[in-house]
Structure 1
């Protein structure tokens, strides 16, 4: 990309792949204009943001409007199915910021952590919060962070007291969370860590391969299961399923957990497919681009569920770009057409036969490859000039007069 001087992206592609068919995308604006727009991109007025030493300082202030917009629109246009998934996601970055977290199980390892609530089957992101760290996002005293995150997400998404079923991993799941959600008319299923409160019999039980043990306390069912001899026992709890074994004598709650737990991972995978990963010195811009990609994923899921002949995701992105740029392209075509007509009729004259002159605007002879020739000349000064360069040339020409 650094070798492109003033050519557009589409022109560069056409030169590089001239033997292939014409690419789907069109010239919207030049690379230089794109970089200029990217340079001055802002979501808020920096003068209105509290300084870092202020008690009201918010490290997410620069991109908070797009987070609020995303959560508002996600709830407005979609009602999820019963099975939900809650997990953490990571937007990879090594920028120096208080938002940066280290999660060794994630691909990026370092980045900004999101608490995400998604639909289990489709990966539709229904609500998410940006984790600001212990200093700016503390957990209430006497409460586990995982439980606090689950209740906060469900309350912000307005999904409590509707008998939704939440699947979460061992970081979030606990007996206290299961009881609280049950009182709020919400089911939960998830793995449980050994250091969390559990019946002693479940903690210390010794099982053989494909063997399981169940214990129930009212609506809460706790299970211990060992899949193979060399593996540790898996401990789970559920407020929805019964002590039932299915294929390979595996508890039903485990098979359902494996089926519906991956909603957040599915959303991350879909995001990584077409994310450009554009480098930026501004950490918040990388987060904004990632959120925009997740918006497109949500839009594609809605498109799939409301279309009988849904196209591929790539085709959907192409249609989306075409639609968003249509107004700009229409105005641009009209303006260029009017300009060319005026230039052709009044101010430019075409040279006879195959004669050409150096363009007085864009041609530079002392630079390798910098000489640009035109078949048109200005009727006033008789200098060579391209049609697209005439507007700049006319100012000089009239100034000389």
Structure 2
């Protein structure tokens, strides 16, 4: 029977859950927004906007249709009534961010090991990735890494991996967390608390999903074709846009995943619940959250703005409450149009494909950017800013890709997820370490090597070393255990430069005199060969 690593070939179709699920209250018939076209923004210049103006009659008709709808209070007590107006009257004010971001502890004297142990204070060896675990202990001269076998025997490491566990199975009846995450929930809780308490992200943060490769059988395994792994365990992550620091994360366990929050109502969409759950501790601080069209909606943007948090990103035009005048307006390439309702603006721009954006502080300003081919390209400022600040999760995944601890095959999904979270903890430790002015230029490889060396130097002496073979009944001779140095034989009353027969040469039937000896052993020895063999070999 095929094991977990090969079961993907026999997987039934219903076991794979597609990322873009059909939500009950926000059904999507087609995907029309375009997130492509990320260009380099080395140089920008504002020019006069060429906005396609929506007529007053169109706006009035739209407003009348909206006013006829039943107005109800939704997420966080925010009204879901939207009256759309011309975007020229949009106030476009960004929330003020005045927090001290970065590490929330004293970084004086911060070293590589302490930056990691602030998050995860368990000494582990698997920090530098090789093809298999036994590659660390290879005896081949080309592959050998003496550092690892000298630190921890392979048999001991295999036993640790085999019996590593995070919960007491006998207390499962007392467990109150997500049922499917029982095996690893303490690790998830611990890391979420540490990530949030040790660091405050800067103003720009992004929310996106990440995928941990897993091809075995698992009820909440996900298929995301645009991700590098494509198949595995999905996590929703909130990251700092500039560094990729993972500030909070949720493990997706399927459609029956339950998330509770003080702002959530029965009518709140599932994607909005995810965003609010990740963002809740940061609400009211003046952050700007960047999201793609899987999460964004006008109602969610209004709620976040009411909590002094700006919201920017792409938007699906057939989402609920999107202005019909923007959705149905026919545009030529380069044209754009927009409307706003209070503090929420929706903008459509025609590039190769139509792009619909939502923002709580962008107007319809246009800028000129210079791409990598040194060609000028005209685009809305909101699109340029989105391309710049939406890369937090993807940046983190890119930095972890060369050092994937979880790519080693295993039969337990929670061990694979643990290795992924351990890898994320190392990345977060590096981000905090780089906040110290003198450490900004350290790269990922140097940090990981320094971390491995530092952990072994700190915790290695306490690791018991196994003793192989039968113990000796007699202690070894002193010539093998003490410190010995060659010296000239001291002069006597008869000879100023005396010589004696070499002990080793005499034993082997050779007559050779030497003017050197070991003063501690009292034995004359040839300086070349004999002295070394006499003090290193039991039977010379």
Q: Same fold (TM over 0.5)?
A: yes
Q: 1:39 aligns with which of 157, 162, 165?
A: 162
Q: 2:286 aligns with which of 150, 163, 166?
A: 163
Map Cα deviations across residues 276-314 of structure 1 (whole Å, 9 max, x no partner).
311110110000000000000001111112141442211
CA separation in 2, counterparts of 1:34 and 1:144?
46
Q: 1:210 to 1:67 in 2, by over 3 A?
A: same
Shift of 1:249: 3.1
Map Cα deviations across residues 97-151 of structure 1 (whole Å, 9 max, x no partner).
2221222222222211101000011100000011111224379642211111111
5+ residue gaps, structure 2, are 1-129, 369-376, 482-503, 509-535
Q: 2:142 aligns with which of 16, 20, 30?
A: 16
Counterpart position of 2:419: 289
Alignment of 1:268-307 (within 5 A): 268-276=397-405, 277-307=407-437
Counterpart position of 2:246: 125
Counterpart position of 1:321: 452
CA separation in 1, counterparts of 2:236 and 2:475?
58
CA separation in 1, counterparts of 2:132 and 2:424?
31
In the alignment, structure 1 residue 263 sits paired with structure 2 residue 369 = no
CA separation in 1, counterparts of 2:178 and 2:341?
45
Counterpart position of 1:151: 276
2:365 match: secondary structure: coil
Counterpart position of 2:476: 344
CA separation in 1, counterparts of 2:222 and 2:397?
17
Q: 1:149 to 1:332 in 2, by over 3 A?
A: closer
Contact 2:208–2:291 (Cα < 8 Å) also in 1:
yes
Counterpart position of 1:190: 313
**Number of paired residues?**
343
CA separation in 2, counterparts of 1:236 and 1:55?
40
Q: In terms of mean alpha carbon deviation, does 238-247 or 140-149 score higher? A: 140-149
Contact 2:136–2:148 (Cα < 8 Å) also in 1:
no
Counterpart position of 1:96: 217
CA separation in 1, counterparts of 2:132 and 2:358?
58
In the alignment, structure 1 residue 85 sits paired with structure 2 residue 206 = yes
Counterpart position of 1:213: 337
Map Cα deviations across residues 210-253 of structure 1 (whole Å, 9 max, x no partner).
1111212222111000113xx2x111110022221111331111
TM-score normalised by the chain length of structure 1: 0.76
CA separation in 1, counterparts of 2:156 and 2:475?
24
Counterpart position of 2:363: 242
CA separation in 2, counterparts of 1:94 and 1:2?
18
5+ residue gaps, structure 1, are 356-373, 378-401
Q: 1:32 to 1:189 in 2, by over 3 A?
A: same
Q: 1:234 to 1:332 in 2, by over 3 A?
A: closer
Contact 2:259–2:277 (Cα < 8 Å) also in 1:
no
Counterpart position of 1:364: none
CA separation in 2, counterparts of 1:133 and 1:2?
32
Q: Which has the higher contact order (CA 8 A, sep 6+)?
A: 2
Q: 1:280 to 1:98 in 2, by over 3 A?
A: same
CA separation in 1, counterparts of 2:294 and 2:268?
13
Contact 1:50–1:58 (Cα < 8 Å) also in 2:
no
Map Cα deviations across residues 31-81 of structure 1 (whole Å, 9 max, x no partner).
221111100001111222249xx9977111111111111111111221110
TM-score normalised by the chain length of structure 2: 0.58
CA separation in 2, counterparts of 1:218 and 1:57?
39
Contact 2:344–2:358 (Cα < 8 Å) also in 1:
yes
2:356 match: secondary structure: strand
Counterpart position of 1:142: 267
Alignment of 1:310-389 (within 5 A): 310-331=441-462, 343-345=475-477, 376=538
Contact 1:115–1:131 (Cα < 8 Å) also in 2:
yes
Counterpart position of 1:398: none
